[in-house]
Structure 1
Amino acid sequence: MTTVIRPKKTLSLQDFKEIWGHRELLYFFTWRDFKVRYKQTFIGIAWALFQPLMSMVVFSLFFGKLAGVPSDNVPYPIFVYIGLLFWQFFSDALSDTGSALVNNQSIVTKVYFPRLILPISTVITKLVDFAIAAIILVGLMIYYQFIPSVEGILLLPLLLLITFMAALGGGLFLASINVKYRDVRYILPYFIQLFMFVTPVIYSSSIAGKYSWILAFNPMSGVIQTARAAFLHTAPINWLLILISFSASVIILAIGTITFKKTERFFADII
């Protein structure tokens, strides 16, 4: 007698139980992705530091020195670095999660396991990169003599959660589409670049003036503005902005998860 396993069309408690039951597999994929990322590279894990550091140097030169972009009365290097730190976590997680199924098609087509494990492990890997790159932020804060508020430190897990949910939700949606339409892998880098410029990563949200309220619906805008307020004291912490960012990320995660679950049963056939 042949047993056919059919994925459910909606997320349920059983899905969480399955993920928990396969937690060792989740750990394996996370470790594998992290190891493969830096395998046979000259500086290894230091790439997690090098990428945001070099971006900070370039943006500080062109936007901070030459263009004189406002930085809320704090030194531009640390201003832009804290934006790049959260943005890199989000953009790298979104990009790699969108390709998680296609990049693991040999496993997806042959072995049954909760497919959600692949995108979740990808985002966790980027969270590890975030933790490594945060070392430079600590150094910059010591150099520029910034002391984060207790409130700011307590907010950090929430900001990471918002970023995690937004990246995972967007990645789940893109991964579902990418299985059938491989154009996604070519369009996504341009989309991420465009999205960066409508997020206050390299500039202050005050530049938007009366239209700054539009940025509030971008969850990463709220995350970056709040991080700067908490760690660099650029402005009072805006709890309404945090609530909007959290709500937006929950909506993105819900849309991504629903899309993923509805198309999951076709993955092995069309990937």
Structure 2
Amino acid sequence: MKKILLIVLSIIILGCKNDKKEDGKAEILNIVTTTSMITDLVKNIGGDMVNVQGLMGAGVDPHLYKASEGDVSKLFNADVIFYNGLHLEGKLVEVFEKMEGKKETVALGEFLPKDQLIGSEYFASNYDPHVWFNIEFFKKFAIEVTRVLSEKDPKNASQYAANEKAYLIKLDVLQAEVKNTIAKLPEEKRILVTAHDAFNYFGKAYGFNVVGLQGLSTATEAGVQDVQKLSNFIIDNKVKAIFIESSVPRRTIEALQAAVLSKNHEVTIGGSLYSDALGDAGSIEGTYLGMFRYNVSVIVNALK
């Protein structure tokens, strides 16, 4: 990590990239994003007026992600860097801090109203960073991305605004669909047990009791006592299914299932949910809208 920081500082000292082509015409904006959710969002707002490079692909855990030298090069050549913030990208925070004042870094989570965030005495930021599972918060992300892009590239501001309007309509449709789908699941069955606490905002929005085997960050592993405690909870509440996550090793949930089965209670693995990353690029689940619909369908069908 120290080596990477030295590279960052050295590159910054050398100066900033020229934003003009040799013929005097402005280049399209170079944008670097961290999580795949933010990458998808910026592509929707920026369209073909921006070049977006996401650091984290499908199945990548942002809590544990470390910047490579290639990442540092992308960050240096960016006009704007969008990231989640709220300490989600814990191991990248120091890199971003070194770039402040030299590069435009935008922590989207920092623009959310703090009184609406879920706090935690156990997490470094004191807030749950998995804010994209509240669609209203993701709308605020879209508005902020539009503002930044418009300020950076005012000649295309009207097109950014049009793209934002179209995307916000899609998010409104998603909200209505999710609400209707979840309404089919009785309230007493809305208990969501996953590998780590990534779904608290989802639970708050749709009336789920969300329980994660690990805490808000995957940096700490679940212990034997955690597994036993949660297995008892599953039995006491007659939970039908538990869920693995695409960005967390499945062994954590398999260990939980084994603990439940050892106590003569059956619980199935209801499927794999996308939590800290979208699905494969080019797939339906590789978009924020597709990921959300997929997750809701898997959860409702498994818990019915």
Query: Going by fraction, where is strand more abundant, 1 or 2?
Result: 2
Normalising by structure 2, we get a TM-score of 0.27
Query: Higher relative contact order by CA 8 Å / sep ≥ 6: 1 or 2?
Result: 1
Larger radius of gyration: 2
Which one has the bigger helix percentage? 1
